[in-house]
Amino acid sequence: MPTTLITGGTVVTSTGRSEADVLVDGETIVAVLAPGSVLLGNDLSTAVDAVIDATGKYVIPGGVDAHTHMELPFGGTAASDTFETGTRAAAWGGTTTIIDFAVQTYGQKVMDGLAAWHQKAEGNCAIDYGFHQIIGDVNDDSLQAMRGLLDEGVSSFKLFMAYPGVFYSDDAQILKAMQVSADTGLMTMMHAENGPAIDVLAQQLVEAGKTDPYYHGMARAWQMEEEATHRAIMLSNLTGAPLYVVHVSAKQAVEQLAWARDNGQNVFGETCPQYLYLSLEEQLGASSDEWGAFEGAKWVCSTPLRSKAEGHQHHMWQSLRTNDIQMVSTDHCPFCMKGQKDLGLGDFRKIPNGIGSVEHRMDLLYQGVVDGQISLERWVEITSTTPARMFGLYGRKGVIQPGADADIVIYDPEGHTSIGVGKTHHMNMDYSAWEGFEIDGHVDTVMSRGKVVVDDNQYVGAKGDGRYLKRGLSQYLI
Ligand code: DUC
Ligand code: ZN
Ligand code: ZN
């Protein structure tokens, strides 16, 4: 197996940084050494097959994006990134692992849903991938099948308190699924918004002629998120199920999570770049010659963007610092404006929900380091180490240490990244939700299990490089 030495860089992990060389043998990191180490009389740089000079750069574990939706059928269409295009875009941005959501639809068997996801992904991915399981139909058969998920390497399942008639579970179904979660250790992941109440508000808005994309966020008010988050916490408290709330956007929902954690509950939360950087006010102000106010559809996602005046974004950065929120995923669910988002012209309820960010998460969060919001180590922790540990991948992923998979990103703090279509954009979308964002940093080199897949602004990997990851239980629970 080829050997590679990464020299001269600053190795950054969640616990610190040091000047060190990293030795890779085949797919694995075998040593982290003092710079210029001589091993058994050999100058290592002459003994290896390849040397990568990382002088002046950060050497970090590859990003782990624990929330993506490649090819998800949703809102009358399907997410526009395939596993091939989406994982390649992820690699471009320094993410070397995704955990995507396999779907059990209403009436379908859980294991059939999982098998369908394997079929979509196998042989197509640029980077390693795992699956969570969406349970879209909680019934006796699914509850039984869930007990077999861990054997399949799936240690988490997601329920929806939103989307009645699609993925929605009522409280009785949630309670039963959480009992299985408490019994097995599978993590319950929750989309926490009160869907039935939201649907009433949305209908009232449309009937009042308020059909623009902005009203999507008005219908999905923060009270809907706070209430559902609280309900999920109490059901988790009652059953003893570990709970992970996805795409937290409202500061009041964070307060619920912090309260539960302070009470000693195994409750966790993720946020996404859109809830750190984007706002409802910007969506309201969005307008273009092509789309008019429908321009705002570019940022229709659920949970929705929140008001800057109400301080949600500020609170979210603060929560990342204080660990009230533990990690950042993307909820990557891309749709094109033409032929997809435009299904909702004249009725915001028909706009497919989702934003594409899998390519930009590492850069966007690094900008938080530059802006003084988080430390370098915390950047690595919330984008790589914690996601790996939360979902049973730590040791292989999320860290630079001997024995770990050689998923390594060389990040140049002196580099620059201009985000946008025609600049850095490899996601299969006809627009970027991040158009115009300028990042003081750059992903230079990306290694996936020892193979360089991105180098000097070139993609040099191949479809099928990525392998399925069987995951264990969350390492926050054992
Ligand atoms: N939210 C989105 O924005 N898209 C996909 C599903 C979800 O919950
Ligand atoms: Zn969701
Ligand atoms: Zn999602």
Dump pLDDT digits (tens) for 343-354: 999 999 999 999
Provide the CA 300 distance to its chain's centre, in angstroms. 17
Residue 75 CB partners (closer than 8 Å, separation 6+):
335, 343, 350, 351, 352, 353
Instruction: Tell me the CA–centroid distance for residue 313 and ligand 1, in Å.
Output: 19
Identify the nearest ligand to the CA of 353 by its number.
1
How does pLDDT run across 208-254, given as a tens digit for each residue?
Answer: 999 999 999 999 999 999 999 999 999 999 999 999 999 999 999 99
Judged against a pLDDT cut of 80, whether residue 129 lies above it is answered with: yes
Q: Are 45 and 429 in contact (CB under 8 A)?
A: no
Residue 405 DSSP label: B
Establish whether residue 389 lines the binding site of ligand 1, counting it when its CB lies within 6 angstroms of any ligand atom: no
Q: How many CB atoms lie within 10 A of CB 382?
A: 25
Mean pLDDT value of segment 305-329: 98
Instruction: Give the H/E segment covering residue 314.
Output: helix 312-322
**pLDDT level of residue 323 (50, 70, 90 thresholds):** very high
Q: Which atom of ligand 1 is nearest to the CA of 355?
A: 3
Establish whether residue 124 lines the binding site of ligand 1, counting it when its CB lies within 6 angstroms of any ligand atom: no
Helices and strands of the chain, counted as H and E runs: 15, 25
Residue whose CA lies nearest to ligand 1 atom number 7: 302
pLDDT, position 158: 98
**pLDDT level of residue 36 (50, 70, 90 thresholds):** confident
Mean pLDDT value of segment 357-384: 98
pLDDT, position 458: 97
As a whole number, the mean pLDDT across the chain is 97
Judged against a pLDDT cut of 80, whether residue 474 lies above it is answered with: yes
Establish whether residue 353 lines the binding site of ligand 1, counting it when its CB lies within 6 angstroms of any ligand atom: yes
Q: Which atom of ligand 1 is nearest to the CA of 162?
A: 8
CATH code that applies to domain 62-361: 3.20.20.140
Judged against a pLDDT cut of 70, whether residue 180 lies above it is answered with: yes
Mean pLDDT value of segment 438-459: 97
**pLDDT level of residue 196 (50, 70, 90 thresholds):** very high
Q: Are 151 and 185 in contact (CB under 8 A)?
A: no
Judged against a pLDDT cut of 80, whether residue 49 lies above it is answered with: yes
Same fold? 3-60+395-459, 62-361:
no
Judged against a pLDDT cut of 70, whether residue 414 lies above it is answered with: yes
CATH code that applies to domain 3-60+395-459: 2.30.40.10
Mean pLDDT value of segment 26-53: 91
4 three-class SS: strand
pLDDT, position 258: 98
**pLDDT level of residue 478 (50, 70, 90 thresholds):** low
Q: For a pLDDT cut of 70, what percent of the chain falls above it?
A: 100
Mean pLDDT value of segment 371-397: 98
Q: For a pLDDT cut of 90, what percent of the chain falls above it?
A: 96
Quote the radius of gyration of the chain (alpha carbons, Å): 22
* Domain definitions of the chain by residue range: 3-60+395-459, 62-361
